[in-house]
């Protein structure tokens, strides 16, 4: 008799898990429950869908329910798993269309419930024109509002990647955009001197950047008309809340499953929880940080797919491992690109690590090439050993992708002395004779 795998969640981690489980065991019975309408979609592409660079929501969907059916994977949308009976290996599901509750049994269970936007408990949150962005339906709701209301004053709460990617869309449409960030600078996981380069660029583009400012509430009658902060009132027609996410882990209450950093499900390298037969992956789970050497919560689409793949293989009888992450991220804001990996200077200070940093400004191509643009690069290394700990890049024209080279070096514990003679490719359209990375390494 074949074993049964139930997967809770139908986006990155869940569908990666289901697909890998099928490839690992062709005879495994696999059922996926998701409370949403859409599955297997690229949430990171939503700002570009809203901005019109992606023509259709279907372009965001990697694989359809019909595609998974061909793999003999049974997908149930609008089906919310409300609770788990870990002792008897059962889940209780509510059909959201019929409002009926039913149960299903499993041999193995993968929790891939993801995360939801953090929504502060502030007065005025009920007003029309206040949005979060996480799902395709969120994107569709924003597009509908923008077409109908044509707002001119945009307030983005939060100066992280998603908020700034969205700012680009509004600036291009001639809107007045205000970004409100309560931290000392935007992109809080970068160092202040690097974030300042992007801040200056955005100010030149007409974006009002307000840091060290806290939102208190929203005012208006039926629709939002202003954002009230600890420093005043900002007129607005549209608010995007982009202040982080919360892992969807309420479902594990009563199961005995342990939670870790920020109440994410604690998993090991094989994606096992502490409860036999239950695995977890993606934005609802912790991940091991290779430099911190502990489990943390860093919800990223790349990590969700990798963890889902490992969970699926192991639920189907495999023995895969996911070693961990170092917090690599990248974004483009108009023509400017930003990326980071490893530790920032602030993180080194918090961890008590003795470090040195070097920051340089160079060019993305040979100075005589018309495509040559500026690139700002910071490297951070452990003082005594020379071990690479972190890197940050702000620049133009493909500058940010150099972060992948540095992420690789940090992942394998390379030192400055090992990297300083790297044989990097050179051609005038791609870099100067001395690549900016090598220039920075030579400053140590």
Q: Average pLDDT of the chain?
A: 97
Residue 404 has pLDDT above 80, yes or no: yes
* Pairing status of strand 153-157 against strand 238-241: parallel
- Read off the pLDDT of each residue in 130-159 and give the average, rounded to a whole number: 97
At 259-291, the pLDDT tens digits run: 999 999 999 999 999 999 999 999 999 999 999
Per-residue pLDDT at 369: 96
Per CATH, the architecture of 4-39+60-114+245-315 is what? 3-Layer(bba) Sandwich (3.50)
pLDDT, tens digit, for every residue of 10-19? Answer: 999 999 999 9
For range 183-193, the mean pLDDT: 97
Write out pLDDT tens, residues 300-345: 999 999 999 999 999 999 999 999 999 999 999 999 999 999 999 9
Secondary structure (DSSP) of 390-411: EEEEEESTTGGGGHHHHHHHHH
Q: Would you state the pLDDT for residue 399? A: 85
pLDDT at 397 over 70: yes
Tell me the domain boundaries of the chain.
4-39+60-114+245-315, 119-241, 331-441
Q: What is the pLDDT of residues 105-114, one digit of tens each?
A: 999 999 999 9
pLDDT-derived band at 32 (thresholds 50, 70, 90) equals very high
Task: Give, in order, the Cα–Cα distances in Å from 294 to each of 289, 297, 321, 325.
Answer: 6, 10, 16, 11
Percent of the chain beyond pLDDT 90? 98
- Looking at CATH, the fold of the domain delimited by 119-241 is given as FAD/NAD(P)-binding domain (3.50.50)
Q: Is 119-241 the same fold as 4-39+60-114+245-315?
A: yes
Q: What are phi and psi of 393, to 5 degrees?
A: -135, 135
What integer pLDDT is reported at residue 1 of this predicted model?
A: 67
Averaged pLDDT for residues 365-376 = 96
Token pair 């191509």 in the structure block, residue: 365
155-159, 257-261, 395-399, 437-441: least confidently modelled range: 395-399
What's the pLDDT at 413? 97
Identify the sign of the CA torsion 121, 219, 178, 210: negative
pTM of the model: 0.95
Active-site annotation, residues: 44
pLDDT value, residue 398: 82
Instruction: For residue 47, name the pLDDT band (cuts at 50, 70, 90).
Output: very high
Looking at 3.50.50.60, 3.40.50.720, 3.30.413.10, 3.60.21.10, the CATH number of the domain 331-441 comes to 3.50.50.60
């Amino acid at each position: 008799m074949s074993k049964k795998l139930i997967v809770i969640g139908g986006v990155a981690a869940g569908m990666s898990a289901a697909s890998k489980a099928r490839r690992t065991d062709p005879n495994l019975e696999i059922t996926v429950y998701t409370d949403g309408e859409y599955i297997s979609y690229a949430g990171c592409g939503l700002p570009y869908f809203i901005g019109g660079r992606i023509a259709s929501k279907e372009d965001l969907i990697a694989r359809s329910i019909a595609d998974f059916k061909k793999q003999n994977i049974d997908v149930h949308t609008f089906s919310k798993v409300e609770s788990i009976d870990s002792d008897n290996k059962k889940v209780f599901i509510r059909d959201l269309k019929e409002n009926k509750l039913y149960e299903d049994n499993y041999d193995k269970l993968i929790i891939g419930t993801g995360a939801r936007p953090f929504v502060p408990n502030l007065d005025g949150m009920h007003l029309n024109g206040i949005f979060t962005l996480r799902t395709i339906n969120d994107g569709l709701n924003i597009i509908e509002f923008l077409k109908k209301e044509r707002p001119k004053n945009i307030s983005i709460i939060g100066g992280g990647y998603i908020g700034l990617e969205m700012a680009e869309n509004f600036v291009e449409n001639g809107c007045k955009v205000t970004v409100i960030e309560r931290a000392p600078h935007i992109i809080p996981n970068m160092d202040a001197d690097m974030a300042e380069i992007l801040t200056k660029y955005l100010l030149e583009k007409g974006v009002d950047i307000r840091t060290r400012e806290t939102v208190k509430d929203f005012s208006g009658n039926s629709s939002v008309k202003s954002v009230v902060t600890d420093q005043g009132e900002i007129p607005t027609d549209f608010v995007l809340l982009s202040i982080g996410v919360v892992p969807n882990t309420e479902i594990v209450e009563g199961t005995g499953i342990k939670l870790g950093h920020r109440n994410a499900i604690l998993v090991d390298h094989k994606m096992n929880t502490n409860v036999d037969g239950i695995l977890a992956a993606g934005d609802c789970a912790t991940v091991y940080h290779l430099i911190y050497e502990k489990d943390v919560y860093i919800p990223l689409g790349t990590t969700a797919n990798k963890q889902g793949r490992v969970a699926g293989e192991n639920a189907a009888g495999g023995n895969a491992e996911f070693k961990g992450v170092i917090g690599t991220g990248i974004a483009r804001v108009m023509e400017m690109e930003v990326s980071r990996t490893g530790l920032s200077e602030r993180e080194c200070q918090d961890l008590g690590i003795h470090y040195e940093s070097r920051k340089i400004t160079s060019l993305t191509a040979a100075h005589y090439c018309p495509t040559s643009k500026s690139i700002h690069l910071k490297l951070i290394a452990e003082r005594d050993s020379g071990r690479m700990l972190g890197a940050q890049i702000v620049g133009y024209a493909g500058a940010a992708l150099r972060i992948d080279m540095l992420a690789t070096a940090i992942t394998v514990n390379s030192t400055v002395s090992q990297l300083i003679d790297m044989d990097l490719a050179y051609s005038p359209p791609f870099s100067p004779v001395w690549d900016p990375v090598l220039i920075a390494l030579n400053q140590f």
